[in-house]
């Protein structure tokens, strides 16, 4: 498949905004951050702008910081089920952890949402890096990094097997002949692996797009060892084009090496726009935000990421490495934090870090401050230079920068032939130019069918469950 001339655009559903001061701006939906309305407003605005999808993150850092909590408190699948009913074309990407769910129940949740949304669902596969995760998701202590990804790889495989259980023409509904389904086309799953035992035919037919689109956000060698095998979207963090082009080329090459078409995986870093009618006005807005968020918004962010108490440190002295969070304990964009951690190892003081990182977007994302033309120029440069296949627009402020991007930058991208002016299809796979995934059973010789599904199978006794 040749590269699409159109970039992919997704919108992070985070009514609290990505900037710490977003909620303080008059008109922000801060009072409704835990209600449905602002999410639906954002999703409908993204649909009007012909975005590929909206994206819901989900991470325990929400527990650590009231501001973060208010940014996006709701559970993604619950919320996107309601958004699905109130939208028609926009894709719906939910973040769900493979460490704190089981394959069969998540296959049912995502499979059901993909059916009711008529094939618009994506699943952002995360393993949840934050050690506080058990506080949010329950369960026992945090799982080892490499083990999390080994479990995630088997988890994704098992869920995809379940979703393939019904061939696309398994449902017949021949009322005259009294035939509801073709049992030859409903298959049993016998998955007995290192982490999961799953038996029995699944109970939901495939959706209009076959199965949900699979996204991935891992940045580490473990993460990048798994993603190329199945991911169709890779969320990332980049603020330097040369670095982004290196990662892009590496990811596409890994996809090619496992025998997949590199165009079947879209690399989407985050974008933090601050948009004014002119560059000067945008810079003024950014300065206002910085002051509104507390003059030291970046300093507060850095202290939170590092796990340091600013009231009890000498910002001019080097930071002892053993007093800061180790990268493996960080949730969210880890590659960004590894850079900060390396600076601390090299002897940086807190002042050094604030000075260096205050010019980069929060969490290391690409921040563009300027007029719509300036933002469109940077977006176009990154796309045409193959630094990415598009972006996840993470509204610095809501509704401010998200609306400004959709109302003033998207039309420029459309005029430049870089973004769709109409949806060509109805499913998320249609939007992303992805083929309908083949059904592993439809092409397999002698697949186990529904009729033989329960013959001689000793179902686990109640007591054994």
Ligand X SMILES: Cc1cc2nc3c(=O)[nH]c(=O)nc-3n(C[C@H](O)[C@H](O)[C@H](O)COP(=O)(O)O)c2cc1C
Residues that bind ligand X (CB under 6 A): 57-59, 95, 97, 126-129, 217-220, 222-223, 235-237, 270, 331-334
C-beta closer to ligand X: residue 144 or 197:
144
Does 149 carry a binding-site annotation?
yes
370 DSSP 8-state letter:
E
C-beta closer to ligand X: residue 145 or 185:
145
Q: Assess contact for 16 and 30: CB atoms under 8 A.
A: yes
Give the CA radius of gyration of the chain.
23
17: tokens are 């905004």
C-beta closer to ligand X: residue 87 or 331:
331
175: tokens are 């009322």
Q: Assess contact for 98 and 156: CB atoms under 8 A.
A: yes
Does 314 carry a binding-site annotation?
no
* Closest distance to ligand X from the beta carbon of 283 (Å): 26
* Closest distance to ligand X from the beta carbon of 345 (Å): 18
* Closest distance to ligand X from the beta carbon of 192 (Å): 27
C-beta closer to ligand X: residue 297 or 334:
334
Alpha carbons 29 and 402: distance in angstroms, whole number: 13
SS3 312: helix
- Phi, psi dihedral angles at 163 (to 5 degrees): -65, -25
Q: Assess contact for 138 and 102: CB atoms under 8 A.
A: no
* Closest distance to ligand X from the beta carbon of 102 (Å): 17
* Closest distance to ligand X from the beta carbon of 98 (Å): 10
* Closest distance to ligand X from the beta carbon of 335 (Å): 7
Does 95 carry a binding-site annotation?
yes
Element (H, E) at 242: helix 241-257
Handedness of CA 25, 30, 32, 38 (dihedral sign): positive
C-beta closer to ligand X: residue 236 or 276:
236
Does 100 carry a binding-site annotation?
no
C-beta closer to ligand X: residue 234 or 404:
234
Q: Assess contact for 405 and 366: CB atoms under 8 A.
A: no
Q: Assess contact for 401 and 275: CB atoms under 8 A.
A: yes
Does 220 carry a binding-site annotation?
yes
User: Binding site for FMN: what residues are annotated?
Assistant: 58, 95, 145, 149, 220
User: Binding site: what residues are annotated?
Assistant: 58, 95, 145, 149, 220
């Amino acid at each position: 498949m040749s590269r699409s001339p159109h970039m992919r655009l997704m919108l992070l559903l985070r009514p609290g905004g990505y900037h710490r001061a977003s909620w303080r701006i008059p008109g922000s939906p801060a009072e409704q951050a835990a209600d449905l309305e602002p999410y639906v407003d954002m999703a409908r605005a993204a649909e009007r702008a012909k975005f590929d999808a909206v994206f819901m993150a989900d991470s325990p850092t929400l527990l650590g910081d009231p501001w973060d909590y208010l940014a996006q408190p709701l559970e993604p699948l619950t919320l996107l089920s309601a958004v699905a009913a109130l939208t028609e074309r926009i894709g719906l990407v939910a973040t769900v952890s493979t460490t704190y769910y089981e394959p069969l129940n998540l296959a049912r949740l995502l499979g059901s949402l993909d059916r009711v949304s008529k094939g618009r669902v994506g699943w952002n596969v995360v393993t949840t890096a934050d050690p506080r995760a058990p506080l949010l998701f329950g369960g026992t202590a945090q799982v080892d990094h490499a083990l999390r990804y080994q479990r995630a790889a088997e988890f994704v495989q098992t869920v995809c097997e379940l979703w393939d259980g019904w061939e696309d023409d398994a449902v017949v509904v021949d009322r005259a002949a009294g035939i509801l389904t073709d049992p030859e086309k409903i298959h049993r799953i016998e998955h007995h692996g290192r982490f999961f035992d799953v038996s029995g035919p699944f109970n939901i037919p495939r959706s209009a797009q076959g199965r949900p689109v699979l996204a991935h956000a891992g940045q580490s060698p473990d993460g990048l060892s798994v993603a190329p095998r199945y991911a169709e979207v890779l969320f990332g963090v980049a603020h330097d084009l040369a670095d982004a082009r290196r990662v892009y080329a590496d990811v596409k090459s890994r996809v090619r090496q496992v025998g997949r078409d590199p165009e079947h995986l879209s690399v989407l870093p985050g974008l933090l726009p601050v948009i004014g009618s002119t560059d000067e006005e945008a810079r003024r807005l950014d300065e206002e935000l910085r002051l509104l968020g507390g003059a030291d918004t970046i300093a507060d962010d850095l202290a939170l990421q590092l796990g340091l108490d600013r009231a009890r440190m000498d910002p001019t002295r080097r930071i002892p490495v053993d007093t800061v969070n180790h990268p493996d304990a960080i949730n969210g964009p880890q590659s960004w934090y590894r850079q900060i951690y390396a600076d601390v190892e090299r002897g940086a003081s807190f002042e050094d870090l604030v000075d260096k990182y205050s010019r980069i977007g929060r969490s290391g994302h690409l921040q563009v401050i300027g007029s719509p033309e300036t933002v469109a120029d940077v977006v176009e440069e990154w796309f045409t230079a193959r630094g990415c296949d598009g972006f996840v627009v993470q509204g610095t402020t809501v509704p401010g920068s998200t609306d400004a991007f959709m109302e003033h930058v998207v039309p420029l991208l459309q005029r430049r032939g870089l973004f769709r002016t109409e949806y060509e299809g109805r499913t998320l796979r249609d939007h992303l130019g992805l083929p309908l995934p083949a059904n592993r059973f439809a092409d397999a010789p002698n697949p186990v069918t529904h009729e033989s599904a329960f013959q001689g199978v000793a179902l686990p006794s109640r007591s054994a469950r």
